[in-house]
Every structure is written in structure tokens, then in C-alpha cells.
Amino acid sequence: MSPTSSSSPAKRERRKEARPGELLEAALDLFVEKGFAATRVDEVAARAGVSKGTLFLYFPSKEELFKAVVRENIAGRFIEWNSEVETFEGSTAELLHYCYRVWWERVGSTKASGITKLMLSEAQNFPEITQFYQQEVILPGQQLIRRILQRGIDRGEFRAVPLDYAIYVVLAPMMFLMMWKHSLGACAQGALDIDPDRYLATQADVIAYGLATRPGSTGLSA
Amino acid sequence: MSPTSSSSPAKRERRKEARPGELLEAALDLFVEKGFAATRVDEVAARAGVSKGTLFLYFPSKEELFKAVVRENIAGRFIEWNSEVETFEGSTAELLHYCYRVWWERVGSTKASGITKLMLSEAQNFPEITQFYQQEVILPGQQLIRRILQRGIDRGEFRAVPLDYAIYVVLAPMMFLMMWKHSLGACAQGALDIDPDRYLATQADVIAYGLATRPGSTGLSA
Amino acid sequence: MSPTSSSSPAKRERRKEARPGELLEAALDLFVEKGFAATRVDEVAARAGVSKGTLFLYFPSKEELFKAVVRENIAGRFIEWNSEVETFEGSTAELLHYCYRVWWERVGSTKASGITKLMLSEAQNFPEITQFYQQEVILPGQQLIRRILQRGIDRGEFRAVPLDYAIYVVLAPMMFLMMWKHSLGACAQGALDIDPDRYLATQADVIAYGLATRPGSTGLSA
Amino acid sequence: MSPTSSSSPAKRERRKEARPGELLEAALDLFVEKGFAATRVDEVAARAGVSKGTLFLYFPSKEELFKAVVRENIAGRFIEWNSEVETFEGSTAELLHYCYRVWWERVGSTKASGITKLMLSEAQNFPEITQFYQQEVILPGQQLIRRILQRGIDRGEFRAVPLDYAIYVVLAPMMFLMMWKHSLGACAQGALDIDPDRYLATQADVIAYGLATRPGSTGLSA
DNA sequence: AATGAATGAGTATTCATTCAT
DNA sequence: AATGAATGAATACTCATTCAT
């Protein structure tokens, strides 16, 4: 055993610990791109730079790998965001614009957005993980949006729209953008290409304007 | 109706002509429910009441069956709609509400909506059919929406928003509803259940209001 | 029923009776070209201008069709030939040349030669029909050749070679030519193309010369 | 032999390297016995003592397995033979006998002879591999025979026969024997049984004699 | 007699999963 | 821990054969 060959044991150690993460990353990419069924575990392993056997060392099955990918990428960012919303100073219209922008930076533009595509695409085949996703992502997300809208109403900026459905006015554009980006948008031939910033700005503009009370209005419309 | 005229064209004959349709219907159901890969051709055949061999008599492969399902369910409804939009009398806000309602009746609430879910889920795996879908559905749909918005602007009802992005303000809520309905919505646990009518009414309301010129406004905002 | 439509019932009648023959002909072509397994009954039917169902009206199975093809094309031409050999006037070397030439005309160059290719190719899969082929073709053929050689020996023209193996000296070139013609020869790229007349003439020449007694020889060599 | 040196390279490892060979051997047997189509890949795998999946680990398809079988069994034996012919001492008639004998030992009597049967039977269905076979086997073989005949002519032993067709005088008996052995001969009922040695001896005898110049002959006959 | 729609047993091939090394 | 050879259950697709018309 030559002394040179034993160099950098740290690197090896680090890689070893990084294995699951590398696998999850590779799996996320491929699941998002091709769907659950069309993704081969060999491919995931290959992209992560390990053998197929190694993958099963860390994840007992392809399904568990899928679940792990989803769980891993559903970080509970909502606590942080909730406090940001609480402390935000400025109009609620501005808050909405801000949230869209921040969401795009932290989620929409990242691989995490692929998870939404995955979930919506595969929900039917994975009821268990779908349930989990609802609890961890959808419901907190809806709560956050609801809080924003409530803030607008409370401050007399927004009309007293029915919140249960108004949340979807805010949510739909985000979900749509994520789906689009990972499906048709990925095959974009010019016409279908969407610039996220302009897209979100336009959506926020129309929505904020559409929710806004009017000068002279009581802020208590239908 | 004379008994000798044998108005029924022989059971076998009639079935033969009905076969492709029956198969497409069964395939639509299953593809939407389980996705492309998870759908077995035997199952499609069984649901259509024929044997596996018969399916391949009408469709040379599972992939061609998929393509046929997509094609079948996007018959050029746009021509009809275009003329409806041209002749509509009333405010553009009303037109928007009307379109959402009609779209739901004719597409959103039907199995055809499953096609969109399918396409968004499987787009990457079927570039050819995705291309076809863009040409036949997405682009005509965008044109129609663009026409509606233009009408509002021309009549001084809507602000001169940038159409290229405003169309998504109208489109996103529809796409979202279809995806939702066929994914999370199908596993709905109360909290996630969406009433389409209220959903669409709220969306149309906010959007129309958000696009509207204001009393005293020039109708030429950014 | 217009009188013109009932024209030429004879033609129809004739065709009806010709069906099995047309099917056998088509089957022969295809079996020879592609082998038993690779030939589809649809193709046979199509080439014969009838439906697949009709084929099974005349032949209870693909195997039976195969057997019928073989049987049909193994006409007992040997009686005729035997008498020709008996009455032939001229040297036995000339008789050999004559036989090769006649064989080529009547068998080698016709579709019947395909049967040999078929039999040799498929013998293992059809023991029953192979047995039949041996009785009807191989043995009579060997007898005929034996008679020719015996004639040469009897007349002092040929050496007294061991007949049991000398027959193959005459047989091998014919069998080889048939196989070649229907296999490699059919994909011929120039180098492999064989002109049957020159081929057979050369073979007959060498064989006759090789069997011939020499001047001063006793005609009774090993 | 120290116990720690573990000279046996681990059972699994050794088997792995042997796999392709075992599979090719099993495939050769079965292809020759039953033809390409009638051979099931499961059977090949079973005979090689592995599972169906393993076969596809080494050969991407049944067709590629077939090609590999052909390639494997036609290793360039011709180089060796060519030099043997060059250095042979003795008459060309003796050389012919010698070649027939050696050919039988090294090819005719081995499984390799089955390849020729295979090729002639399946040529039409595998144009690509047929092409390969022509280049690698047929043409070199013809060259070798041509060289032998040329030797006889050059040494004044053989008549100046047209080589392009005389080669078939030598080739046909070999091809015939291989075909016979693997078809009718395999179902031999006594009458059709051929003793290769006597068969080849007779052929060589007649051919050599038939090609020979005669005492007093010029060696330049047509 | 003729058709051709329907069948379903049969086969090549794939791929998640196992396990000896 | 890591490998990668081996597995075999699962599945799309074929094609000889049947049979109602």
C-alpha cells in the first residue's frame, strides 16, 4: 500500500456520506424529467456515479426512493415565510409582488419546483405520499396565502372576497408556471416560452388590482 | 318501422364500427387515471370489452393508442368558440365569465380535461405528440384568449395590458383546475375539494376586475 | 340483378377450383424464400388473392399447408425419367450430361427446386414430411442415379466404383446448386453468382471423366 | 499451492467470463437443431444453465445472438490452411484427399458445420449476416480451393479447367455433406446414412481423377 | 364458399430487486 | 460499504386459428 494511494481519505469519507444526497438529486432530476415509471434506477445510479446495487443499499425500493425524493424536497420553508409576511411593511399589493418574486427565487426557479410537477403527475399512483404532500405543502401554502389576503382585507386594501376560493387566484399562477416549465415549456418552440419575471409581475399586477378596493369603496364588496 | 327492413346493421358490424371509439374511451379513462406507463393494454382492452389482440387490430402500438386518444379529444372546438366570441353581446367581463362557464361545461368537466393532465405529465416522453398538442390546442387556445382580451381593450373596458403575458392570467386558472381535478383533487380530503363554479366565478371576477379600466382612467396604463 | 353483372360465371367457377393451387403456389414461394416459421399465413393468403379465412377453408393448419406444398411439388417424375434412361442411346458420359441438362430444365430451374431447399432447411422440424420426402424423392432419385452409373459400368465406360457412395458424386452437385440458388445465390453480389449451365457442364465433365475407365484400363479399378 | 493465494478466481468470476461462450455453445446447438425461429431464448438460456435475463445481459437480442454464433464459429481458420496448402509436399490429388480429410476433422464433423446449414437455411432472413458470411467464409474458402486447383494445373497434374466453376466441383461435396448431416441425415433411416470418410474419399477420388491430365495428354484440355 | 373481425396462447424483451463476492 | 452479475416476474406485441355473418 503506497503512501500516495492513501491520500485524501477525507474526500472519500465525505463522498460516502454524500451518497444518499447525490442519489436523491439524480433521482429528482430524472423523475421530474421522465416521470416515475419511465425513470430507470440504473440511470439514477449512473447519474449519481454509483452502481445499481448501491442505490438499493440506501433506498429499499424505487417507490421509497420516490418518496424520499419528495420528502427531501419539501423543506418546511413556511415558518420562515410566515414570519416574513408578519413583519412585512408596505402595501399588501407590494407584499404579493414580493412573495411571487421570492417564491420564484427560492422555489419556482429551483429544482424544488419539479416536485410539484412530479406530485401532480403521479398523485394518483402514490396516494400515501400525496397525502403527505398535501399536509406538508399544500395546506401550509394555502394558509400562507390566506394570511396575506386576510392582511389585505384587514388593512382595507383588498375587497372582502371569499378566502376559500381567493387563495386559488394566488396559487393557480404559481402551480401553472411550475407545471408549464417542466412540461410543455421544456419543449418550448419560442411561442411557448415564458419569461417568469414578466409572467409573475403581470399576474401579481392583475390579481392585486383585481382584489383591490377602489377609491371611495368601502372595501367590503361581495 | 317494418321488421323485414332490419334496421339494425347486424350486431357484429355495428360493434366493429364502434370498436375504435370504445377503445379510445377506455384508454382515455385509464391513461388519465393511472398515467401512460401504469396503464396496461390488457386493461384497456378488457374495459372496452374486447381482447388484447383486438386492440392491436385498431392501434398498432400502445404509443399510437395514446396519440389517438389525445387527437380524438381535441377536435377543433376552437372554430365554434371563435365565432361565439365574435358574436357575443355584452361586456367583456361578462364574456370572460361566460367563457369560463362554457369551457367548464364542454371541456373542464368532461374527460377531455384529463388530456391536458396527461399531456403536461407525459410531455417529455412524447415530443412528437407534444408538438402536435401545442399546434392543435395550446396555440389556438391562446389565440382565442388573446381575442377576448383585445376585445376588452378595444372597447375601452380593459387596460392595455401586455397581451403576451395577460393571456396566461386567463389560461392559468383553467390549466390549474384541470391538473388539480385529476391529481390532488381526486384524492380530495375535504380541504382540497374545489367547487368548480365558485372557483371559476371567483377567478373570473378577480381577473375581470383586475383588467378593468377605472372610472376616469385613460385605459392606457402600463 | 342486372344481366351484365352475371357475366362470365365460368371465370368465377374456374377461379374457385383454382384456389388451392393458387394458395399452394403462393405458399411455395414464401416458404422457400423465408422458411416455414417466418412465413405468415396472411401473406400467403394475400399473395393468392384470398382472405386468411379462405386459406383455412382449404388447409386445416399451417403445417398441413406446408405438407401439401411439399407433396404437391414432389411429382413422381421418376417413372418418366427412368424410361428415358433405359432408352437413351449414346455414351453414359453423354447420358450424364443429358440428365443434368434435363434436370435443370424440369426441376432445378423451376420452383420445384425450392422444395429441396425447404426440406433441407426444415427437415428437423417436420420428421413426418421428411420421411415422406425421402421415400418419394431421395430414394427414387438415388435409384435413378445408380442405374445410370450401373449402365456406365456395365458398358465398360465407367470404373467399378462403389455405387453406394458414387451416387452422391452425382447427387451432391445438384443439391448444392438448388440450395445455393435459394440462399446465398439469391443475395448474390457478383462473386457468388453461378451460371447453371456452365456449372452443370463442368461438374458433368469432371465427374464423367473421373468415373471413366482409361484406355487400356480394365474398367475394374477399386 | 498456498491456501491463501486462492488460485481459483472465485466461482462467480470464472463463470462470468465463461458465460458468453456457454451461451453461444447452447445457441449453436439449438439453432442448428431447430432453426432460428423455432429456437426459444429461454431454451438457450436453460441449456447454458442461466436465466433468460442473463442471456440478454450478454446479447442484446435473439438476432444478435444468432450473429454472434455465426461469427464465433468461423474464426479465421483459412490463414492456417493456406499455409498448409503452400507447404504441402506430394501430388495435388493427395493434397485434395488430405484437405477433405482435414476439413472433415476440423469443420465438417464439428458443430461448426451446423453454421453452414444455418446460413443456407436462413440467409434470406439475415441479409446482413449473410453478407458477412460471404466475405469471411465463402470467399476465402473459394480462394483456398482455387489455389489448390491452380497448384495442380501449374504442376501439370490437372487439366486447365475453368477455375471459376471448377471450384464448385470441390466445394459442392463439402456443402452437400454438411447440409445432409444436419437435415435428412439426422433423421437417417439406414438408407440415408452416409459414412463421411468413405463419402469424402470417393468424392476426392473421382474429382482428382476427373481433373487429372492423362498420360500423353497436354494438360491443356478445354 | 368466403370473409375478416376477434381471439388468446405464446414469445422476446425489460427492469426492479437480490446477493455472493 | 460497494459492486455488478444474476434473476424472473411482468408486459407489449404477434399470429395461427376460429366463427358469426
pLDDT digits (tens, 9 = 90+) for D100-153: 999 999 999 998 899 999 999 999 999 988 988 998 889 999 999 999 999 999
Q: Which residues of D touch C179 (CB under 8 A)?
A: 120, 175, 179
Question: How far is A90 from C40, CA to CA, in rounded Å?
Answer: 78
Q: Is C7 exposed, middle or buried (0-12, 13-18, 19+ CB in 10 A)?
A: exposed
Please tell me which residue lies nearest to nucleotide E15, judged from CA to C1'.
A40
C-alpha cell at D91: 501430388
For chain B, positions 97-116, list CB contacts with chain A under 8 A.
Answer: none
For chain D, positions 154-173, list CB contacts with chain C under 8 A.
Answer: 161-162, 165-166, 168-169, 171-173
- What's the Å distance between residue A62 CA and nucleotide E17 C1'? 10
Are B184 and A121 inside 8 Å of each other by CB?
A: no
Is the pLDDT assigned to residue D7 strictly greater than 60?
Answer: no
* CA D50, D53, D57, D59 torsion-angle sign: positive
Mutate to test the interface with D, among C70, C176, C177, C180 (most CBs of D within 10 A): C176
The fraction of chain C above a pLDDT of 90, given in percent, is 69
Q: Which residues of C touch D152 (CB under 8 A)?
A: none
**Span C195-202, mean pLDDT?**
97
Give the helix ranges, DSSP H, for B35-61: 41-48, 52-58
**What pLDDT sits at residue A125?**
92
Question: How far is B183 from A126, CA to CA, in rounded Å?
Answer: 10
Report in angstroms the alpha-carbon separations of A178 from A87, A107, A114, A172, A181: 27, 9, 7, 10, 5
Question: How far is A154 from A134, CA to CA, in rounded Å?
Answer: 28
Residue D133: closest C-alpha in chain C: C184
pLDDT digits (tens, 9 = 90+) for D167-192: 999 999 999 999 999 999 887 666 67
Query: Is the Cβ atom of C125 within 7 Å of strand E at any atom?
Result: no
Please tell me which residue lies nearest to nucleotide F15, judged from CA to C1'.
C40
B36: closest CA among B28, B24, B48?
B28
Can you give chain C as a three-state secondary structure string? CCHHHHCCHHHHHHHHHHHHHHHHHHHHHHHHHHCCCCCCHHHHHHHHCCCHHHHHHHCCCHHHHHHHHHHHCCCCCHHHHHHHHHHCCCCHHHHHHHHHHHHHHHHHCCCHHHHHHHHHHHHHHCHHHHHHHHHHHHHHHHHHHHHHHHHHHHCCCECCCCHHHHHHHHHHHHHHHHHHHHCHHHHCCCCCCCCHHHHHHHHHHHHHHHHECCCCCCCCCC
B30: closest CA among B47, B52, B54?
B47
Confidence of residue D17 (pLDDT cuts 50, 70, 90): confident
CATH numeric code, B74-211: 1.10.357
**What pLDDT sits at residue C214?**
76
CA C83 to chain D, closest CA, distance in angstroms equals 24
pLDDT digits (tens, 9 = 90+) for B31-59: 999 999 999 999 999 999 999 999 999 99
**Span C143-152, mean pLDDT?**
96
**Span C129-138, mean pLDDT?**
88
Report the C-alpha dihedral over residues C126, C131, C133, C134, rounded to 10 degrees: 140
Query: Is the Cβ atom of B125 within 7 Å of strand E at any atom?
Result: no
CA B96 to chain A, closest CA, distance in angstroms equals 14
Contact criterion met (CB below 8 Å) for C59 and C68: yes
Highest mean pLDDT among A208-222, B133-147, C195-209: C195-209
Query: Is the Cβ atom of B51 within 7 Å of strand E at any atom?
Result: yes
Which residues, 6+ apart, have CB-to-CB distance to C19 below 8 Å? C48, C50, C54, C58
- Give the one of A131, A133, A166 whose C-beta lies nearest to B202's C-beta: A166
Q: State whether residue C198 sits within 8 Å of chain D by CB.
A: yes
Question: How far is C83 from A114, CA to CA, in rounded Å?
Answer: 88
C-alpha cell at B36: 401512460
Chains that touch A (3 or more CB pairs under 8 A): B
Q: Which residues of A touch B145 (CB under 8 A)?
A: none
C-alpha cell at A106: 427560492
Are D168 and C198 inside 8 Å of each other by CB?
A: no
Which residues are A158's β-sheet partners?
Answer: A212
Q: Which nucleotide is nearest to A41 (CA to C1')?
A: E16
More confident residue, C12 or C138: C138
pLDDT digits (tens, 9 = 90+) for A120-153: 999 999 988 898 888 888 999 999 999 999 999 9
More confident residue, B115 or C192: B115
Query: Is the Cβ atom of C52 within 7 Å of strand F at any atom?
Result: yes
CATH 1.10.357 residue ranges of chain D are 73-211
**What pLDDT sits at residue A4?**
43
Which residues, 6+ apart, have CB-to-CB distance to D123 below 8 Å? C183, C184, C186, C187, D130, D133
CA A86 to chain B, closest CA, distance in angstroms equals 24
Is the pLDDT assigned to residue D36 strictly greater than 70?
Answer: yes
* CA C51, C54, C60, C66 torsion-angle sign: negative
Q: Which nucleotide is nearest to A38 (CA to C1')?
A: E15
Question: How far is B86 from B147, CA to CA, in rounded Å?
Answer: 9
Q: Is C207 exposed, middle or buried (0-12, 13-18, 19+ CB in 10 A)?
A: buried
Confidence of residue A188 (pLDDT cuts 50, 70, 90): low
B132: closest CA among B122, B22, B172, A35?
B122
At the second CATH level, the architecture of B3-71 is Orthogonal Bundle (1.10)
Touch between chain C and chain D: 3 or more Cβ pairs under 8 Å = yes
**What pLDDT sits at residue B141?**
92
Provide the 10 A C-beta neighbour count for residue A93.
Answer: 18
Query: Is the Cβ atom of B11 within 7 Å of strand F at any atom?
Result: yes
Phi-psi label, residue B90: left if phi above 0, alpha if psi -120 to 50, beta otherwise = left
Bases of chain E below 7 A from a protein C-beta are: 1-21
CATH 1.10.357 residue ranges of chain B are 74-211
| pLDDT beneath 70: ranges in chain B | 1-15, 75-76, 188-191, 215-222
Which residues, 6+ apart, have CB-to-CB distance to A184 below 8 Å? A192, B119, B120, B123, B130, B133, B134, B138
Of A12-16, C76-80, C136-140, D98-102, the range with the lowest mean pLDDT is A12-16
Number of inter-chain CB pairs under 8 A, C vs D: 185
**Span C38-63, mean pLDDT?**
97
CATH 1.10.10.60 residue ranges of chain B are 3-71
D71: closest CA among D142, D18, D128?
D128
- What's the Å distance between residue D41 CA and nucleotide E6 C1'? 29
Which residues, 6+ apart, have CB-to-CB distance to A75 below 8 Å? A112
Contact criterion met (CB below 8 Å) for A67 and A126: yes
Question: How far is A30 from A42, CA to CA, in rounded Å?
Answer: 11
Type of residue numbered D199: Y
Question: How far is D102 from D98, CA to CA, in rounded Å?
Answer: 6
Which residues are B158's β-sheet partners?
Answer: B212
Chains that touch B (3 or more CB pairs under 8 A): A
Confidence of residue D55 (pLDDT cuts 50, 70, 90): very high
Give the helix ranges, DSSP H, for chain B: 11-34, 41-48, 52-58, 62-72, 77-87, 92-103, 112-122, 127-133, 139-154, 163-181, 196-211
Strand E, CB < 7 A, residues 146-175 of D: none
Structure letter (DSSP) for residue B213: P
Q: State whether residue A214 sits within 8 Å of chain B by CB.
A: yes
Are D172 and C169 inside 8 Å of each other by CB?
A: no
pLDDT digits (tens, 9 = 90+) for A23-60: 999 999 999 999 999 999 999 999 999 999 999 999 99
Q: Which residues of A touch B122 (CB under 8 A)?
A: 35, 121
**What pLDDT sits at residue D6?**
41
Strand E, CB < 7 A, residues 101-130 of D: none
Lookup result for grid cell 399536509: A135
Contact criterion met (CB below 8 Å) for D203 and C173: no
Touch between chain B and chain D: 3 or more Cβ pairs under 8 Å = no
Fold annotation for D73-211? Tetracycline Repressor; domain 2 (1.10.357)
For chain A, positions 24-63, list CB contacts with chain B under 8 A.
Answer: 33-38
**What pLDDT sits at residue D79?**
77
Please tell me which residue lies nearest to nucleotide F10, judged from CA to C1'.
B40
Touch between chain A and chain B: 3 or more Cβ pairs under 8 Å = yes
Give the helix ranges, DSSP H, for D5-138: 11-34, 41-48, 52-58, 62-72, 77-87, 92-103, 112-122, 127-133
C-alpha cell at A2: 503506497
Is the pLDDT assigned to residue A11 strictly greater than 60?
Answer: no
Which residues are B114's β-sheet partners?
Answer: none
Provide the 10 A C-beta neighbour count for residue A14.
Answer: 10
Mutate to test the interface with C, among D31, D40, D117, D121 (most CBs of C within 10 A): D121
**What pLDDT sits at residue D4?**
41
pLDDT digits (tens, 9 = 90+) for D187-216: 766 667 899 999 999 999 999 999 999 764
Please tell me which residue lies nearest to nucleotide F20, judged from CA to C1'.
B12
Bases of chain F below 7 A from a protein C-beta are: 1-9, 11-21
Are C35 and D186 inside 8 Å of each other by CB?
A: no
Q: Which residues of B touch A166 (CB under 8 A)?
A: 202, 206
Contact criterion met (CB below 8 Å) for D165 and C202: yes
